[in-house]
Amino acid sequence: MPDLITDLITDAELVRRFPGQPLSHDSAAHYRGRLARKLLINRCAACGTWHHAPQPICPACWSTDVVPTEVAGTGTIHLAVFLHQGPPAEGVDYSTPYPVVTVELDEQPGLRFTGTVVGSPNEAVAIGKRVTLDWIDRAGTPVPAFRLVESSAS
Amino acid sequence: MISSRNPAKNLVAIAGAATTGFSSKNTPRSQASYAAEACTAVIRACGLQAGDIDGIVGTNPSAAEVQAMLGIPEVTFFANPPIPVGNHMAAAVAAVHSGQCDTVLVYHASYRLPWNTASALKDPFRGLGPSMAGPGPDTVGGVVGYTAWAARYMYEFGVPKETFGRIAINDRSNAVHNPAAAMRTPMTMDDYLSARMIRWPLCLLDMDVPVDGADAFIITTTERARDLALPPVLVNAVTLGMIDKNEEDQTPSLRHHGHQVVVNNLRAKSDFWTDGCDLYYAYDGFTPITLNWLENAGWCGPGEAGAFIESNWDAAGSRIMINGRVPLNSHGGALSEGGTQGSGYIREAVHQLQGLAGDRQVAGARTALLTLGGFFFNAQGLTLVRD
Ligand SMILES: [Zn+2]
């Protein structure tokens, strides 16, 4: 993604912005995308297969031409938990259980991304609900999250 | 590939097993001290000495540390596999059968650590180790994974929380009769349902108990085991199982993960399955794993574990007795004996098959089926038979 201004951020600065995240030469583009509020998922230029988390090779055809590619961010909740306790994180108060959902993205069956849900009470968050990508800020760094699509919100 | 090929079948044996017992409180002892206690106990129980050991398999402390600590003069094989302990057994059996060594000491020391119990932080010797900075709360990786798939299990099959509770109660009822167990106070369904919620839908009593303690084993050829002090327990088959999409949130489904690989391969290699087993052990680091093992091993169909447990519930003993005769996790499992990452189930199966299980002894037990580990990167299984 040479058009991203975030390419100007050094690798060292990227590591500083994402403490505790699995940063590597394979995942750096994904995290640079986050700084631009773009959800980039690796897609194989040879066979079109998507995969996540970012790997250096396509697991379907072994092409190394894997391209971090922006996804629509729409999908369906596949897994859902509510954390009554958890690791310290800015803006997270577990007195209201913190929702974490794994979303099956529309781009490919089985391609999933995990994040929290914003904009709805926990009672409305459930497996099977449709969501779309949103972003929250944590310590000044964008974190991908999901928002229930109105028609499926209860 | 799934295959019935099993040239080591019944030719390698577990000659003995020993435990220190387990504590759910921080003890003023090191992890190494528990390993030392269990290792020396099992070597002595088998009538062996340090110089008879030529293979060492364990994780923490390392094989090198254990060799130095126990003064084992020379080994020709050692390994430090990841937990759970089916990995250790698979390595030991392969090493003995291939001739890389003859007599392997396998050990596993459980130790309460700051990442699984906040109170362990109070012991400065348990340390925080390298950076504890994690990825934050926006993930289902690590301990959250089984909670996420528990929610999926409830969604797909309409399973109530009480079904998970049956697993916890069964384990506790069995642990009452196990002096090595950390948690021995009987548990009711009310106790279970009122336990503190940790990560919905799982509560404190759905999760294994962090403990201090250790188990140890001697693995050798069946021929040599027959000359030792205790009845040999033959390894009928052992397998590990993993699939490509093994990350918690990318795992394809409840019916496609490591369990199915283990079941298909272990069944193909073993002389018996559910019909022919006298003892059954299913991993219970989290209650949903056990429910899914019951279904995936074929005791019942998908989503039917709750009904299966109801119809095999021994009300008098407040525990599962399959067909009125096969207990599930006769030692109390990780939920009540303590989180042994697999070693407790194997040790208990060995003691049952040797007739050394005390008040818990299943009369005449000759065969044990063990399905250990979880869905993602650590499913494994063994079949064991008395010689
Ligand atoms: Zn490809």
pLDDT digits (tens, 9 = 90+) for B271-328: 999 999 999 999 999 999 999 999 999 999 999 999 999 999 999 999 999 999 999 9
- Using CA atoms in the order B343, B334, B153, A81, what is the torsion angle rounded to 10 degrees? -120
Q: Which of B131, B200, B249 has the CB atom closest to A97's CB atom?
A: B200
pLDDT for residue A1:
46
Q: ipTM of the assembly?
A: 0.89
User: B350 phi and psi, to 5 degrees?
Assistant: -60, -45
pLDDT computed for residue A153 by the predictor: 46
Flag the least confident range among A127-131, B26-30, B78-82, B150-154. Answer: B26-30
Per-residue confidence band for B370, with pLDDT thresholds at 50, 70 and 90: very high
Its pTM stands at: 0.94
Which residues in B129-212 belong to E strands, given as ranges? 197-200, 202-203
pLDDT at B143: 86
Give the mean model confidence (pLDDT) for residues B173-201: 98
> Does the pLDDT of residue B131 top 90, yes or no?
no
Distance from CA of B131 to the nearest CA of A (A): 9
Which chain A residue is nearest to residue B256, measuring alpha carbons? A110
Chain A contact set for B138 (CB, 8 A): 100, 114-116, 143-145
Residue A13 CB neighbour total at 10 angstroms: 11
pLDDT at B118: 75
Sign of the dihedral through C-alpha B356, B362, B365, B370:
negative
Q: Crossing angle, helix B287-296 and helix B144-157, to 10 degrees?
A: 50
| Residue A8, min C-alpha distance to chain B (Å) | 24
Write the pLDDT tens digit of every residue in B12-27.
999 999 999 999 998 9
Q: Do residues B56 and B66 make contact, with C-beta atoms less than 8 angstroms apart?
A: yes
pLDDT of chain A, 154 residues: tens digit per residue:
445 556 678 999 999 999 889 899 999 999 999 999 999 999 999 999 999 999 999 999 999 999 999 999 999 999 999 999 999 899 999 999 999 999 999 999 999 999 999 999 999 999 999 999 999 999 899 999 999 997 654 4
- H/E segment holding residue B218: strand B213-221
Q: Would you list which residues of chain A are within 8 Å, Cβ to Cβ, of chain B?
A: 19-22, 52-53, 59, 78-87, 89, 92, 97-98, 100, 102, 110, 112-116, 126-128, 138, 143-145
Asked if B161 has any chain A CB less than 8 Å from its own CB, the reply is no
